[in-house]
A and B are shown apart, each in its own frame.
Chain A
Amino acid sequence: MLFYTLNLNETQKSKFERLYIQYRSLVFYLAYEKLEDEMESENVVHDVFMKALRCLDNIDIEQVEKTRAFLVTITRNHCINMLKKRPKEQHISWDELEDWQKPYEDADLFAALPEENQVLTIIEHMPPLYKEILLLKYVNELDDAVIASLLGIKEESVRKRIYRGKKLLKKELDEVK
């Protein structure tokens, strides 16, 4: 058997393989951060990349920021789903997922921020239930059907969450004086 080393020739790798090599540590890190369990985090890595494989055509690996955002969103969603399945004492409730954490303590100080910063801060603090769908829709530009398949929900639920997410965002923005 002849062993020798060559330089990495990216074109010889499948797109999926490149994705996996580049981001597997990140996905594992994110999963472990949430689940604090190596075995479960390993399962998340596998499941996340399996989901990525299903919508590989929608991923442009050259767009690093978009790709990272996509994997982060999918990983966090998958972890939340796993946490929901855990025994009661570790269970994460729908209320928690729906809970809108106020992004500011001092309303006057927040109101003094430039408008775009206010919007960004509010969206950043949106419940994951809505934020992750908005990210997949408006950052990764995925179809509702693809998002539904990635998150394991009905297409109708995707549309409803987008609608409710926008409504909640509007309500929150209207409250800022």
Chain B
Amino acid sequence: MRVEITDEYLYRIMPKVAELMMADIPNKPEMPFEPSSEFDKKMKKLIRKSKRPGWIKGMNHRLSRVACLVICMIAAGAVLTGTVLANETVRMKLTERIVMDDGVMEYFEVSGEGVIKHLTYIPEGYELIAKDEDAGVEEYQNSNQGKIVYVTWVIEDGMMLFRDTEFVNSKNQVINGKDVTIGYKGNGTLKAQWFDENVYYLIEANSLNDTEIVKMIENIQ
């Protein structure tokens, strides 16, 4: 063969190779992708990062130091004057919802900041095995490989949240004044999710019944 392997030739021929390669790959794979909550959190962080201009990324570290200083000054001021500033009322509005095959992607407008609430009731036999405060994830496990994952994500203004809505069986229940969705996945996993101020809560368990989950939610403080 008398083909010269030059850059020009490769720029011309390689896109055709790519085309052939793509022909074997389905446009829309049939395999469902059901991301875990930890994965969702990681991707959400990445998406948030992608929205920040470069200079903000560099400023983050310095800003966190300034924020610490400001918080210390406010705290000192409150102690000195004997007054505590009341929290601004949290307002959160869903601005957009994209219904996808495996859940919904939601965008929010948020003003103010809510307070993360914590579990005070853990079902018997379960122990905390992992906690990532930055990611807002706590993991509990019992001796029978039963797992509970407790997720708390603070929704920030303009942020996207992906929520699983694909349940075999689900119900909505008002607990502590909040509308909680409790549902079973096809593999038997039980999920409870709700919003409280601008915080999204999720409890995921592989071997709990909904009575125990409700008890956990009732005791969140």
Residues of A within 8 A of B (CB): 1-6, 8-9, 12, 14-17, 20-21, 24-26, 28-30, 32, 42, 45-46, 49-50, 53, 56, 65-66, 68-69, 72, 115-116, 118-120, 123-124, 131, 134-135, 137-139, 141, 166, 169-170, 173-174, 176
Q: Which among B22, B28, B31, B46 is the interface contact of A46 at CB below 8 angstroms?
A: B46
Contact A123 B13 (CB under 8 A): yes
Contact A50 B10 (CB under 8 A): no
Contact A138 B11 (CB under 8 A): yes
Residues of B within 8 A of A (CB): 1, 3, 5, 7, 10-11, 13-22, 25-26, 28-29, 31, 33, 35-36, 39, 42-43, 46-47, 49-51, 92-101, 105, 107, 160, 195
Q: List the B side residues contacting A135 at CB < 8 Å.
A: 14, 17-18, 21
> Known: A46-B42, A173-B3. Contact between A1 and B105, CB under 8 A?
no
Q: Is the interface of B mostly helix, strand, loop or mixed?
A: mixed
Q: List the B side residues contacting A174 at CB < 8 Å.
A: 1
Contact B43 A20 (CB under 8 A): yes
Chain A, Cβ-Cβ closest to B102: A25
The answer for the CA separation of A120 and B19 in the assembled complex, in Å, is 10
- Shortest CB-to-CB span from B32 to chain A, Å, is 8
Contact B20 A46 (CB under 8 A): no
The answer for the CA separation of A46 and B36 in the assembled complex, in Å, is 12
The answer for the CA separation of A169 and B100 in the assembled complex, in Å, is 44
> Known: A42-B36, A138-B11. Contact between A29 and B17, CB under 8 A?
no
- Shortest CB-to-CB span from B28 to chain A, Å, is 7
Q: Which among A3, A4, A20, A118 is the interface contact of B1 at CB below 8 angstroms?
A: A118
